[in-house]
Structure 1
């Protein structure tokens, strides 16, 4: 067994990337490789890249350096979104041997015949129009939750976004395969599944750009609710125009879907939404939030927002700030706009200076802290169910309630990956909520 090769993985970016890394890792294990931690010495290092943030580009070089430091003879492969968008750039990074684009990454073991180092990274990347088939995947990172990919690619043409260039057209897994994957996950004693994709509300479009929806997102949600053995299902980010009232109502009465929504807004100004080519205006967003609050007053609602988009004046920004301040939401993910090659926004007038972008970002981050605090305070005294996670953090075990309140209690390894009914008692100095058990846990 001594001569089995070792492979290690590093993932940048979103939950979708994590689910795909897991699938790629399983293909190596099927080929007789042993998976090791990225911190360990390996024969092959695979880096799954991201193109969404400026930072991810810079991180890539540091990660390659780290790998080569562990083993200077190691074979280094780059896959993922940045590898599709700028393959030559990644191939030129010192130490990189192989760069695979959007369709090739799932066949990575076919490209690794010989592990000798290359002077220059070898590139295999398709035209993105060829990324028209679907590869299902799911990740089992920690033992408590799994990310299940149901959809890939995007047909939207938001002016700031490179994802359609990096991942191709919108296409979905079959309902049958999603249910099969969900069953496999539930059999591994994982309590929570997070549904993930590029534009999951668009679920149902078949392969090869077939615009006909085999099933809708609503039908997917209904079918998953019946899978035995799953305790919790969480919907990751979903576009406001695709989150329909029927889905919201179903979640409110569902056995497994939790009252937590993450809905990208990007701007609270209709002028900016039009420049971004988003497919809704702010009144649609207000309606979605009102509907959720009507049927699930205790739901957690997260919001993505971009600051510093070209043409965003102080007035536009204040529109966004005031809109969010008045909206009954629970937290924000704030992104500072950064220019991306080959996007219409990069050519637009009205560039916002960097110092103004960061000031606006800071203001919204401050608002997010305030919103989260207010949401947590509204939950004190209520009874919820918590799923405990696997890490001992300074003598405490943490977990999340179904409506995404972060709680803590003194560390007990037997609590890991278990669900308990609890009462939320008070917010600690670190902003995490203290709790007490409704019934003392009994461990068999």
Structure 2
């Protein structure tokens, strides 16, 4: 009985693709190991967005080499972008079978395992012509079902390696997406999370051309046919994709979660231009405010890059002030990481590590303050919550992206993936206490 182990780095798309690899291997008669050291085949679905992800990939491969593996497979973005570098590492590790597979090849891992060759094997040719259409039968270990709707990105932000590792934006057909969503809803999932590399580009490459809002209306109709509370969550949208059509849908939807992640990257127009971001800071603030007027209790999240080349005190202050006065209440702040082959890797002037460290702290402190205020303002509110775990104590995630810990919901039997109502009652440090709306029983969140 051959057992395998899968490790996934990076984005939600990688998680969905790893789930498919898992299913395909099981269909071929292999078994997922309960512990890493039981496995003979190791698969790493990698990320290349930052230097940190690249280093983590190398660290994991070195660790696996000590476990006497039959085969190690590296796939994903780092394999696609840095195959030659990992080839050198593979020869150094001297494993019996080391496969470096690109994005197109990751879907055929069982075939590669059936015809293993000695030593190092590399195949990273990717045409990026289509978005590979697969249907997951299950989404093991998850309370919320992630549904991939597209792959790739055509924006070419100056700092981003993803268009080179994932290719241009390619959409899955609407019918395929609806089939996957129905499959998950029929299994009892009550929250669907739409994911992709750039989901706002969905439909632009289809014939006839469609928009994300077209897809959202179709999903709304499907969910409505189930006649029960359901959640539809979006992973990330660019600010220009918050257009009148989307706002009209958001206003009328019964299922759309009040949780919007809208990457900012910088609040300085000078830096935004250098990043090849196609909006101005004023436009970002205006559209975010429009959305906040519809969803005053929503979580509004953003990515922010600190220390992009040319970011002086003035540019950083512009970023800080925009965030401070905006509805943003959740920040993912990270230092600029130059990626090989991107225009920004060669831009000047560089920002010193000490300045980056200082600015990171300022923005993280701002995040903490704004998030705490948001949670305080959420107290007393009743939120629909998806149960994520049962043991050791039940936990969940509210529709507006607040993690919670609870005990019961009006005596109902809890199950993972079920939507229940929960009243937030008290903020204590980083915890929120909550209770069932019709119960005096208090639970910690």
| TM-score after normalising by structure 1 | 0.91
1:11·1:21 contact (CA, 8 Å) conserved in 2? yes
Quote the residue 1:88 is aligned against.
84
Quote the offset at 1:415 in angstroms: 5.2
* 1:216-365 correspondence runs (5 A): 216-228=211-223, 229=226, 231-365=230-364
Quote the residue 1:203 is aligned against.
202
How far, CA to CA, are the matches of 1:24 and 1:103 in structure 2? 12
SS at 1:226 equivalent? helix
How far, CA to CA, are the matches of 1:408 and 1:29 in structure 2? 34
Quote the residue 2:427 is aligned against.
427
How far, CA to CA, are the matches of 1:374 and 1:213 in structure 2? 45
RMSD: 2.1
Equivalent of 2:405, from 404, 408, 419? 408
How far, CA to CA, are the matches of 1:247 and 1:219 in structure 2? 9
* 1:107-186 correspondence runs (5 A): 107-115=108-116, 118-119=118-119, 121-126=120-125, 128=126, 130-136=127-133, 140-186=139-185
Equivalent of 1:76, from 69, 72, 77? 72
Quote the offset at 1:65 in angstroms: 3.2
Work out the number of aligned pairs and report it. 426
The change in CA–CA distance for 1:288 and 1:419 in structure 2 (over 3 A counts) is same
How far, CA to CA, are the matches of 2:34 and 2:209 in structure 1? 39
Quote the offset at 1:5 in angstroms: 2.3
Quote the offset at 1:418 in angstroms: 2.6
1:337-396 Cα shifts (integer Å, max 9, x gaps): 01111111111111111221122112111111111111111111112111121164xx54
- In structure 2, list runs of 5 or more residues that go unmatched: 441-445
The change in CA–CA distance for 1:99 and 1:418 in structure 2 (over 3 A counts) is same
SS at 2:38 equivalent? coil
Quote the residue 2:372 is aligned against.
373
* 1:30-109 correspondence runs (5 A): 30-37=27-34, 39-70=36-67, 72-93=68-89, 94=93, 95=95, 97-109=98-110
How far, CA to CA, are the matches of 2:414 and 2:154 in structure 1? 46
The change in CA–CA distance for 1:345 and 1:391 in structure 2 (over 3 A counts) is farther
Quote the residue 2:443 is aligned against.
none
| TM-score after normalising by structure 2 | 0.90
Quote the offset at 1:213 in angstroms: 5.5
Which segment is superposed worse, 220-229 or 196-205?
220-229
1:255-289 Cα shifts (integer Å, max 9, x gaps): 22111100001000000000000111112211221
SS at 1:261 equivalent? strand
How far, CA to CA, are the matches of 1:361 and 1:213 in structure 2? 45
- In structure 1, list runs of 5 or more residues that go unmatched: none
Which segment is superposed worse, 89-98 or 321-330?
89-98
